[in-house]
Amino acid sequence: MNEEARRPFRLHLPGLLKVLAEHLYSNRQVGVRELIQNAHDSCLRRAIKSGDPDYRPRIDISVDQPRQVLTIRDNGSGLTAEEIDEYLATIGRSYTRELREDLGMMSRAEAEQLIGQFGFGFLSAFLLANEVTLTTRSFAEGAPALCWRSSGDEYYETTPGCREQPGTTIELAVKPAAAFVLQRQLLIETVQKYADFLPIPIHMDNDPQPLNLMRPPWEADDPQAATMQYIDRAFKLSDPLCVIPLRERVVDLGHDSVRTPLQGFLFVPPQSVASIYEYGDVSVYIRGMFITDGERDLLPPWARFVRGVVECPVLQPTASREAIHQDDAYLAIQQALEEQLGDALRHLALEQPATWRKIVRGHTDVIMGWAVRDNEFFEQVADIVTFRTSRGQLNLPEYLQLTGGTLYYVTKELGSLQEQLLAEGHDVPVIDASQFVTAPFLEKYAAGRPGVGLARLDTEQSHLLRSVPEEPFEIVLAHYRERGIRAEIAAFRPPEVPALMMYPQDADFLLEARRAMQAEELPGPIAGLVGEYIDGQVESEDELRGTLYVNASCPLIQKLAQSPPTDRRAAALTLIFQVARLFSGRTLDAAAATAAFGETTDALGELLG
């Protein structure tokens, strides 16, 4: 480099303060967090450096509404004049970071308790204040009290201060735009959000009861009870389906094995709704300080029914401390969470099936939807997910034992479906696949397991119908065919059912499309494509109107086939058709429904004489 051409950068401090203080952070409340963090680290520095066993750290917050001043006071290490110049007034230089680096080789446990890292945190005071006044006294013997004052311009002043005990008091002359932080309840919520797990008590207006818990629930005397209380307090949820404690784990990253110092818990809320609101997020704490409550990438993509709290000192926050860097440590924690969550769910399915059933029922769409997209997760849950069937909740291995290797399902909700009746007549339970993710899940399961068949009963019932000769039943079939009703004879169970009306797949849609074509409501090119599609699905419009399958196994049909052609027999056959039509679950328009009830009424009148 040409030495004569070299020039120093010039720093415009007010502009830099504006950028860092107003654009580095997403909201002004972060300023309170950063100042509490600084007070926390100051207390830890005093505890570490002094080694005084009688030292009791404390942080106090108070509000002077008439003066619009927010005060944060600690009894920590305080600052000397040199430390003010070296650290407080030097942007980007962190006293805490340097102390952590010094301690790292000697006392890892103490080093990991310190939070500060970037040297920007104190600037967040200018998010809130037009002027910041800091009164401090170092715990070093004989150190004087000092007063530091800045309005956020290029200058600050340091003058003799008045403070008897070591520590630091910060007074913020709050801007009108930030006056909301002076609200007592908001301050309480801010402290509990950001500093709940810090081990140093934080008091409000000299209240003897600290605002923060001072330790996370997993370090409580009764972790299970404390965790449930914390979920109720922080997530407003009193009845999670299960809670999964997190533990340190050694993770194999392929090129290396990494120890993950992981604490916290995951839990499953009572229910979620796919595509409307999924979970799959965790609150992240680093060294006891809250970072974010919306971290979604740490959990595997399929875990959209899970929430939790993660505490890990090796995760690296961004400069604003509102998000996490996705580095090697992040990937290791990500893998550790997936492994622990997968192990816990398999254990629940095997050892606590009642709890697992509640999870599946509450989060069916989310679990199945992600399993269809994620092959690894699919294999984890494929045999333990339970399905609603005509014989209660069953997993697929249990179901296949009952059917001999075929999955029978309907895409309409189970209840009065004739497909359920038809299948149960053959001693086959039916899976309710009315939820949009169930059928793709079943298809994926059958495709990946040789020997497993798949039958959709609302379009493929014919394999449950046994073909029989028409000859003994010609008189019955003729009655229907003469009236324009497609009718076939078949034997099926249960024999108490005289007939069933069955339709091709998507019959309603195809009929509507054909009607639109006939009314010339579709543009020419689209009409051509629709016509080709319809022709590929069915042979004729009559097929779309359904086929009446008359049951050769039914004693009533057998009797009617041998009866002379009387009005009463015709009335009975009409009733059988209309009952089958109504039982099929198809939607009738007003005219068709009126005609159906008219024919039913006439037939009943004929039978009653």
Q: What is the per-residue pLDDT across 322-362, written as a single tens digit (0 to 9) for each?
A: 788 898 889 889 999 998 998 998 899 889 988 988 888 88
Task: Quote the pLDDT of residue 43.
Answer: 93
Classify 603 as helix, strand or coil: helix
CA 122 vs CA 33, 38, 54, 196, 217: distances in Å: 10, 8, 29, 20, 30
> Mean pLDDT: which of 78-87, 98-107, 466-475, 505-514 is highest?
466-475
CA 179 vs CA 65, 126, 455, 580, 607: distances in Å: 9, 13, 66, 72, 84
Distance of CA 247 to the CA centre of its chain: 22
| N residues, the chain | 609
Longest CA span, the chain: 122
Choose the weakest-confidence range: 41-50, 89-98, 282-291, 453-462.
89-98
Supply the pTM of this predicted model: 0.66
Q: Is the pLDDT of residue 6 over 60?
A: yes
Which part of the chain has CATH 3.40.50?
385-463
* pLDDT > 70 fraction of the chain, expressed in percent and rounded: 77
Whether omega before 223 lies within 30 degrees of 0, making that bond cis, reads no
Task: Quote the pLDDT of residue 400.
Answer: 95
Choose the weakest-confidence range: 125-129, 214-218, 265-269, 410-414.
410-414
CATH code for the domain defined by 217-352? 3.30.230.80
Q: What is the per-residue pLDDT across 535-587, written as a single tens digit (0 to 9) for each?
A: 555 555 666 678 899 999 999 999 999 999 899 999 999 999 999 888 776 66
Task: Quote the pLDDT of residue 493.
Answer: 78
8 confidence band (pLDDT: 50, 70, 90): low
- The structure tokens listed for 608 are 């009653």
- The structure tokens listed for 151 are 């309005």
Classify 25 as helix, strand or coil: coil
- Between 4 and 409, the more confident residue is 409
Neighbours of 450 (CB within 10 A): 6
588 confidence band (pLDDT: 50, 70, 90): confident
Does residue 546 come out as left (phi exceeding 0), alpha (psi in the -120 to 50 range) or beta?
A: left
Nearest by Cα to 316 from 70, 99, 97, 83: 97
461 confidence band (pLDDT: 50, 70, 90): low
Task: Quote the pLDDT of residue 377.
Answer: 87
Contact yes or no for 396/385 (Cβ under 8 A): yes
Q: What is the per-residue pLDDT across 235-266, written as a single tens digit (0 to 9) for each?
A: 988 889 999 999 988 777 666 677 888 999 99
Task: Quote the pLDDT of residue 116.
Answer: 38
Decide which of 3.40.50.150, 3.40.50.1220, 1.20.120.1200, 3.30.565.10 is the CATH code for 14-204.
3.30.565.10
Cα gap 284→333, rounded to integer Å: 11
Hey, what amino acid is at 546? G
Q: Is the pLDDT of residue 115 over 70?
A: no
Q: Is the pLDDT of residue 39 over 80?
A: yes
- Between 162 and 495, the more confident residue is 162
Task: Quote the pLDDT of residue 424.
Answer: 63
Task: Quote the pLDDT of residue 30.
Answer: 81
Q: Does CATH place domain 466-503+546-608 in 3.40.50?
A: no
Choose the weakest-confidence range: 98-107, 173-182, 272-281, 405-414.
98-107
Q: Is the pLDDT of residue 100 over 70?
A: no
Rounded average pLDDT over 116-130:
65
Cα gap 287→278, rounded to integer Å: 28
Rounded average pLDDT over 478-497:
89
Long-range contacts of 260-263 (CB under 8 A, 24+ apart): 260/312, 260/314, 260/332, 260/333, 260/336, 261/312, 261/313, 261/314, 262/310, 262/311, 262/312, 262/333, 262/336, 262/337, 263/216, 263/218, 263/310, 263/311, 263/312
Task: Quote the pLDDT of residue 94.
Answer: 44
- Between 376 and 55, the more confident residue is 55
Cα gap 271→307, rounded to integer Å: 12
Cα gap 465→74, rounded to integer Å: 83
Classify 270 as helix, strand or coil: coil
Which part of the chain has CATH 3.30.565.10?
14-204
Which part of the chain has CATH 3.30.230.80?
217-352
Nearest by Cα to 289 from 455, 96, 128, 498: 96
Task: Quote the pLDDT of residue 95.
Answer: 46
Q: Is 156 exposed, middle or buried (0-12, 13-18, 19+ CB in 10 A)?
A: middle
- Between 272 and 93, the more confident residue is 272
Q: DSSP string of 355-392?
A: HHHHHHHHSHHHHHHHHHH-HHHHHHHTTT-EEEEBTE
Rounded average pLDDT over 203-208:
92
Q: Is the pLDDT of residue 203 over 70?
A: yes
Task: Quote the pLDDT of residue 506.
Answer: 58
CATH code for the domain defined by 385-463? 3.40.50
Which part of the chain has CATH 1.20.120?
466-503+546-608
Task: Quote the pLDDT of residue 494.
Answer: 81
Task: Quote the pLDDT of residue 476.
Answer: 94
* pLDDT > 90 fraction of the chain, expressed in percent and rounded: 38
Task: Quote the pLDDT of residue 329.
Answer: 87
312 confidence band (pLDDT: 50, 70, 90): very high
102 confidence band (pLDDT: 50, 70, 90): very low
> Mean pLDDT: which of 172-186, 377-391, 524-538 is highest?
172-186
Task: Quote the pLDDT of residue 523.
Answer: 63
